[in-house]
Amino acid sequence: MTLSTERSLLTPASEALVVDAAAAPSFARAVLDALPLTVWTCDLEGRITSFNRAWARFAEANGAPRLADAALVTGRSIWDGLGDTASREQLERGLALLRTGRAPMVQWEFPCDAPDEERVFLMQLSPVRASPDDPHAITGFAFSTVDITPSHRSREALIDTGIALSRTLDLERVYAEVAQQVRRAVRGEAFCLAIAEEETGAFRVVHQYGFDRDGDRDGDESTAALAARLEPAWREALAEEHVVLRHGDRGLELTAPVTSAEGVLGAMTVRADDIESPQRLDEATRLLTTLAAQTAAAIERSGLVRRVEQKRRLEAIGEVAAGVAHELRNPLFGISSAAQLLRFRVADDPVVERNVGRILREVERLNRMVTSLLEYGRHSAAVLAPGDPEAVWDDVLEGERGRLESRGLVLVKERVGAVPPGGVVCRIDAEQLAQVFVNVLVNAIDAAPEGSDLTLTFASLPNGAWRCRLHDGGPAIPAEVQARAFEIFYSTKPGGTGIGLALCQRIVDEHGGTITLESAPEAGTALTITLPPA
């Protein structure tokens, strides 16, 4: 039974028991004393007329005189125990609403300092009528209170989580904040958050606590073993789109899917052994569902902020690059003209000829860089429309056939899995995407050994995204070079400008996709581009 249902049942029951007490006092008293909530009544002047055993225990625990003898309490005014003005005014307003019939019941929450901790109670106030047929024949009022501390804490935890995550942009801090709030709200002794890789759908544990202590009983549970054990629950929760419960040797584990409108992000599992009732389990399930939704929103917000920051950085670099290129172009033209004039005037001097040739080669290299800078700086925003990126690849391969044949290379196209119904459709700028494909293909051709094969693999991912992977068998790229491959002006290729891959990343980012580079000895190099579904 949920808390809202309990509230709806409490007042009619207590009112009926008080009204029927004259007819069956022993039965009414036994039932009232058996209730876990406190119940007491007063007449229209506020004099206490009856109370149950739970109220007596509550009053004694909070400093009231011994109440074993009802005669010591009956007839005392409820106003005597109200020391603060706010409580008196609140009670007066509630009684006025009931007397005038403007409300069938009044309720409010109030804190109470218990010996061990502060607790929160729900007060419910109802009219006592002499006859059910006469709604205006009010003879007194019935009060009841119920302890709602767990629900109150859960509500506060959700509010605190929302506030904390709204201020957190770093992903690691997001994960740690979620774990802390889950521990507070659900009181779980172990927690694990896993994120699904966008391309493969494989789960990666990003934060956990408590599970690593399972080694005290069953041997140390590594992160990989933990992921393997919990993965079936994660996938079940994602498939069912709700919290999944599993009872195991280690206790009760609740798993919630972490999803958003953009797709699957991951799942979270909490182990809680102190859930003692179906009501508490229902509450923990609702809490975990809400926390998972807040986590998904925080992860997406963090990713959006990173993309916006990257876009602003690239735009700033582009503006500087265009300005520098514009300022360099005229001086380079002047240097080239002067060098050619010197070559014409001193045609018979081999030393002058050698140095003039060197000047002209450097000017040509700088001119290529200036052209690339202008291309990067004046790059127009992508105009996206539904299209097939594989068709763009077909056009690029047709145009670059001569370059492949000149080095004796054979490009093999493969598709992993079936083509989705309706074909591959992404939102693309076909012209700019072709520029990316040409750039990465030229890099692969330059790196591949003559007479070898290039492999171009297409795949449609479970989340609807499209992926292509271009692999060559060339020498491995060192790890430090891989880390900087997409930085502007960074290049290890002789005569390279370091702008090509940076421009490719910028275009792919504008498509909402990703571009990555992988390389290992004896495995060659693979460049992967992933685009989201239309």
Please indicate, yes or no, if residue 358 is contained in any of the structural domains.
no
449 and 532 fall within a common domain: yes
pLDDT tens digits, one per residue of 232-244:
999 998 888 888 8
Least confident of 8-12, 226-230, 422-426: 8-12
534 and 385 fall within a common domain: yes
DSSP sequence for 442-455? HHHHHHSPTT-EEE
Please give the Cα distance from 341 to 367 (Å, whole number): 19
**C-alpha angle 518-522-527 in degrees, rounded to nearest 5:** 20
Please indicate, yes or no, if residue 327 is contained in any of the structural domains.
no
130 and 158 fall within a common domain: no
| Residue where a domain stops, chosen among 257, 287, 308 | 308
396 and 427 fall within a common domain: yes
Confidence category of residue 434, pLDDT binned at 50, 70, 90? very high
Is 213 in contact with 221 (CB distance < 8 Å)? no
Listed in sequence order, the residues at least 6 apart from 381 whose beta carbon sits closer than 8 Å to its beta carbon are: 510
Q: Is the pLDDT of residue 16 over 60?
A: no
pLDDT tens digits, one per residue of 82-140:
767 888 888 888 888 888 888 888 888 777 766 566 777 888 898 988 776 766 688 89
For residue 183, give the 3-state DSSP assignment. Answer: helix
387 and 509 fall within a common domain: yes
Please indicate, yes or no, if residue 36 is contained in any of the structural domains.
yes
Counting Cβ atoms within 10 Å, is residue 475 exposed (0-12), middle (13-18) or buried (19+)? middle
Is 294 in contact with 165 (CB distance < 8 Å)? yes
Q: Determine the average pLDDT of the residues in 381-386.
A: 85
Q: Is the pLDDT of residue 12 over 50?
A: no
Please indicate, yes or no, if residue 261 is contained in any of the structural domains.
yes
Q: Say which amino acid occupies 291.
A: L
Q: Which residues pair with 426 in a beta bridge?
A: 387
Please indicate, yes or no, if residue 271 is contained in any of the structural domains.
yes
Q: What is the CATH number of the domain that holds 12?
A: 3.30.450.20
Please indicate, yes or no, if residue 315 is contained in any of the structural domains.
no
Which structural domain, as residue segments, surrounds residue 160?
153-308
76 and 180 fall within a common domain: no
Please give the Cα distance from 440 to 433 (Å, whole number): 11
Domains: count for the chain:
3
Share of the chain above pLDDT 90, in %: 12
157 and 290 fall within a common domain: yes
Please indicate, yes or no, if residue 333 is contained in any of the structural domains.
no
Residue 21 confidence (pLDDT): 40
Least confident of 42-56, 65-79, 224-238, 463-477: 65-79
509 and 470 fall within a common domain: yes
DSSP state of 458: E
130 and 160 fall within a common domain: no
Q: What is the CATH number of the domain that holds 528?
A: 3.30.565.10
Please give the Cα distance from 147 to 461 (Å, whole number): 50
Q: Is the pLDDT of residue 532 over 90?
A: no
Least confident of 190-199, 200-209, 212-221, 466-475: 212-221
Please indicate, yes or no, if residue 371 is contained in any of the structural domains.
no
130 and 210 fall within a common domain: no
| Residue where a domain stops, chosen among 120, 147, 174 | 147
416 and 503 fall within a common domain: yes
User: How would you classify the pairing of strands 190-196 and 263-271?
Assistant: antiparallel
Q: What is the pTM (predicted TM-score) of this model?
A: 0.51
Is 426 in contact with 385 (CB distance < 8 Å)? no
133 and 163 fall within a common domain: no
Q: What is the CATH number of the domain that holds 240?
A: 3.30.450.40
| Residue where a domain stops, chosen among 290, 308, 326 | 308
Q: Is the pLDDT of residue 193 over 80?
A: yes
